[in-house]
Structure 1
Amino acid sequence: MKFLLNLYLNAAALPGQEFDHEQFLAAAGQAGELISGHVFADPSISAVVRVRDNVVTVTEGPYLPTQDHVAGQYLVDCENRERAVELACLISSGEIVGVEVRPLMDSAGMEM
């Protein structure tokens, strides 16, 4: 099963904050469960696209004004949700306020 691990960072953290996830990377890498990982740019340079009643609007900046934002993600392929949660527990950084473990679905709505 594939899971997306979204890393939430406190907005007060310094831009370009480096993450120390050696335990996670070692465990997921050695088990062959790590597919990919990405660090996101600061949300202040993002854009949000909305379509309502066939009207497109583009708003500059983050989706919602909040203290926390998604700062990065890992894609893992694990046997089950419990293993994905176990790997998420290995992601440690003083700036990370939480890790969301979300299963991926295919276009038919089935877990991948």
Structure 2
Amino acid sequence: MPQFLVAIHHPDDFDPDTAENQALMDGIHALNVEMETAGVRLFAGGLQSARSAKSLRAQSDGKVLITDGPYLEAKEHIGGFWMLETKDLEEALAWGQKAVIACRAPVEVRQFY
């Protein structure tokens, strides 16, 4: 069966610990339970803020430069993701639609090779 990445995109200032985001976190938890019950969830994880990222780039001298911050300068970054195994893209997109509602954020669905 094909496997898909379902990635949540959060704004840079997203803070899951605020009281206003508790309902959001409850919705994500409910979706996790639903995915587990359906047997499609392989793995899921939330990521710390993009501000805590380290970017690594190869240099012409063969060394690797490590800098603070995300690789891409953007207003939104991946805040979490699911790895799903579904029968096809249509089923993965159906889960992606549920993720958009639960996360109140844009979601990207991409198939693994």
More helix by share: 2
The 1:79–1:69 alpha-carbon spacing in structure 2 relative to 1, beyond 3 Å, is same
Gaps of 5+ in 1: 106-112
Q: What code does the residue aligned with 1:10 have?
A: P
Gaps of 5+ in 2: none
Count matched residues. 103
Aligned residue for 2:96? 88
Tell me, what secondary structure is at the counterpart of 1:86? helix
Following superposition, the deviation at residue 62 of structure 1 comes to 1.4
The 1:71–1:93 alpha-carbon spacing in structure 2 relative to 1, beyond 3 Å, is same
Aligned residue for 1:6? 7
**TM-score w.r.t. structure 2 length?**
0.79
**TM-score w.r.t. structure 1 length?**
0.80
Per-residue deviation, residues 58-108 of structure 1 (Å, max 9, x unmatched): 1111112211010001010000011001001111233x2x11111112xxx
Aligned residue for 1:28? 35
CA RMSD, aligned part only? 1.9
CA contact (8 A) 2:31 2:98 kept: yes
The 1:60–1:15 alpha-carbon spacing in structure 2 relative to 1, beyond 3 Å, is farther
CA distance in 1, matches of 2:33, 2:91: 15
